[in-house]
Structure 1
Amino acid sequence: MDVDVVCLGESMVAFLPTRPGRLADVPSFERGIGGAESNVACALAGAGHAVKWVSRVGADGFGDHLVAAVGAYGVDTSGVRRDPGRPTGVYFRTADDRAAGSHEVAYYRAGSAASAMSVANVPWGSVWSGRVLHLSGITAALSSECLDLMRALLARRPGRPLVSFDVNHRAGLWRSGTDPRVSLELARGADVVFVGEDEAEEAWGVRGAWAVREALPGVGVVVVKRGAEGVTVFEGPTPPLPESLRRSPVDCGPWMAGRAVPRAPRLPGARGTARATHHGPQPNVTTVPAPRVDVVAPVGAGDAFAAGFLDATLRGLGTRERARFGHLFAAAVLTVPGDHAAPPPRAHANRLAALDDEAWGRLRLGPGWTGTEQEVRTS
Structure 2
Amino acid sequence: MPTAVCLGETMAMLTPESGVTLDGATTLHVGIGGAESNVAVGFASMGLDAHWVSRVGRDGFGDRILSELASHGVGLSGVEIDSSRPTGLYVKLPRTATAPASVLYYRRGSAASAMTPALLDEPHVAALLGKASLIHVSGITAALSEDSLAFLEAVLNRTRSESRVSFDVNWRPTLWEGRDRSVLRSLANRADIVLVGKDEAEHALGTGDEAEIRALLPDPETVIVKNEATSAIALGRNGERCEVPSLTVDVVEPVGAGDAFAAGYLSGVILGLDQKASLRRGHVAAACTLVVPGDHGPLPAPPVLERILACTDETWAGAAVSSDGFSLDGHAFDDEMRLL
Tell whether the structures are fold-level matches, with TM greater than 0.5. Answer: yes
Q: Where does residue 312 of structure 2 map in the other structure?
A: 356
Deviation, 1:375, is 7.5
Greater share of helix: 2
Give secondary structure in 1 for the equivalent of 2:39.
Answer: helix
Stretches of structure 2 lacking an aligned partner (at least 5 in a row):
326-333
Percent of residue pairs bearing the same amino acid type: 41
Quickly say closer, same or farther: Cα 1:146–1:229, change in 2 above 3 A: same
Q: Where does residue 59 of structure 1 map in the other structure?
A: 58
The C-alpha deviation readout for 1:210-252, integer Å capped at 9, x for no partner, is 1111111011010001122211111232xxxxxxxxxxxxxxx
Q: Distance in 2 between matches of 1:23 and 1:129?
A: 45
Give secondary structure in 1 for the equivalent of 2:22.
Answer: coil
Contact 1:368 1:375 in 2 (8 A): no
Give secondary structure in 1 for the equivalent of 2:134.
Answer: strand
Q: Where does residue 15 of structure 2 map in the other structure?
A: 16
> Partner letter of residue 309 of structure 2?
A
Give secondary structure in 2 for the equivalent of 1:76.
Answer: coil
Stretches of structure 1 lacking an aligned partner (at least 5 in a row):
238-282
Quickly say closer, same or farther: Cα 1:208–1:25, change in 2 above 3 A: farther
Give secondary structure in 1 for the equivalent of 2:135.
Answer: strand
Contact 1:91 1:109 in 2 (8 A): yes
Quickly say closer, same or farther: Cα 1:41–1:59, change in 2 above 3 A: same
Q: Distance in 1 between matches of 2:140 and 2:160?
A: 26
Deviation, 1:47, is 1.1
Q: Distance in 2 between matches of 1:158 and 1:79?
A: 19
| 2:141 maps to 1:139 | yes
| 2:330 maps to 1:366 | no
| 2:245 maps to 1:289 | yes
Q: Where does residue 91 of structure 2 map in the other structure?
A: 92
Contact 1:40 1:307 in 2 (8 A): yes
Q: Where does residue 276 of structure 1 map in the other structure?
A: none
Deviation, 1:153, is 1.3
Give secondary structure in 2 for the equivalent of 1:102.
Answer: coil
Q: Distance in 2 between matches of 1:328 and 1:318?
A: 15
> Greater CA deviation, 149-158 or 80-89?
149-158
Q: Distance in 1 between matches of 2:73 and 2:302?
A: 17
What aligned pairs does 1:160-199 form with structure 2 within 5 A after superposition?
160-174=162-176, 176=178, 178-199=179-200
Quickly say closer, same or farther: Cα 1:19–1:157, change in 2 above 3 A: closer
> Partner letter of residue 306 of structure 1?
A
Quickly say closer, same or farther: Cα 1:356–1:43, change in 2 above 3 A: same
| 2:284 maps to 1:328 | yes
Deviation, 1:157, is 6.2
Q: Distance in 1 between matches of 2:248 and 2:95?
A: 20
Q: Distance in 1 between matches of 2:54 and 2:313?
A: 41
Contact 1:174 1:180 in 2 (8 A): yes
Q: Distance in 1 between matches of 2:272 and 2:299?
A: 18
Q: Where does residue 260 of structure 2 map in the other structure?
A: 304
Q: Where does residue 130 of structure 1 map in the other structure?
A: 132
Q: Where does residue 343 of structure 1 map in the other structure?
A: 299
Contact 1:11 1:36 in 2 (8 A): yes
Deviation, 1:17, is 3.0
> Greater CA deviation, 341-350 or 186-195?
341-350
RMSD: 2.0
Deviation, 1:171, is 1.1
Q: Distance in 1 between matches of 2:24 and 2:276?
A: 45
Contact 1:289 1:361 in 2 (8 A): yes
The C-alpha deviation readout for 1:32-70, integer Å capped at 9, x for no partner, is 111000000011101111011100000111111111110
Q: Distance in 2 between matches of 1:158 and 1:93?
A: 35
Paired residues, number = 327
**TM-score under structure 2 length normalisation:** 0.91
What aligned pairs does 1:13-92 form with structure 2 within 5 A after superposition?
13-92=12-91
Q: Distance in 1 between matches of 2:160 and 2:186?
A: 19
Contact 2:9 2:36 in 1 (8 A): yes
**TM-score under structure 1 length normalisation:** 0.82
Q: Distance in 2 between matches of 1:91 and 1:56?
A: 16
> Greater CA deviation, 148-157 or 320-329?
148-157
Contact 1:8 1:127 in 2 (8 A): no
Contact 1:56 1:82 in 2 (8 A): yes
> Partner letter of residue 115 of structure 2?
M
Give secondary structure in 2 for the equivalent of 1:14.
Answer: strand
Give secondary structure in 2 for the equivalent of 1:57.
Answer: strand
Deviation, 1:302, is 0.3
Deviation, 1:325, is 0.5
The C-alpha deviation readout for 1:86-135, integer Å capped at 9, x for no partner, is 000111112349xx961111111110000000012343413343110000
Q: Distance in 1 between matches of 2:64 and 2:107?
A: 16
Contact 2:156 2:190 in 1 (8 A): yes
Give secondary structure in 1 for the equivalent of 2:23.
Answer: coil
Quickly say closer, same or farther: Cα 1:52–1:3, change in 2 above 3 A: farther
Contact 1:135 1:166 in 2 (8 A): yes
Deviation, 1:147, is 0.6
Q: Where does residue 155 of structure 2 map in the other structure?
A: 153
> Partner letter of residue 209 of structure 2?
G
> Partner letter of residue 172 of structure 1?
T
